[in-house]
Amino acid sequence: MRVELLTSPGCPNAEPARSLLRECLKSLGIAATIIDRVGTYPSPTVLIDDVDVMQPDSTPPSGDACRLDVPTSDRILRALKTAAAD
């Protein structure tokens, strides 16, 4: 399972998203490494196997902006469970 956190430099929501992602992984007993990518991304974005947890039916995110749809524990947990079942 590939777990990524995409952030832009100085994003105030990066650390809360990282903490939430760690908590979700721990709660499911998944020992995956979080790949941190800092650059020109909609920030923060959580990708599970290259799928955006907040917009799973869209193409991978691009651009450099703060997200209004910040990743939630429900969405992260759902994506992790789906990836673990595959």
> Which CATH number covers residue 75?
3.40.30
Structural domains of the chain, count: 1
Task: State whether residue 9 is helix, strand or coil.
Answer: coil
In terms of pLDDT, which residue wins out, 5 or 69?
5
Supply the range of the domain harboring residue 12: 3-85
86 burial via Cβ count (<10 Å: 0-12, 13-18, 19+): exposed
Global confidence as pTM: 0.91
Closest CA to 21 of 79, 81, 76: 76
2-60 pLDDT, tens digit per residue, is 999 999 999 999 999 999 999 999 999 999 999 999 999 899 999 999 999 998 887 76
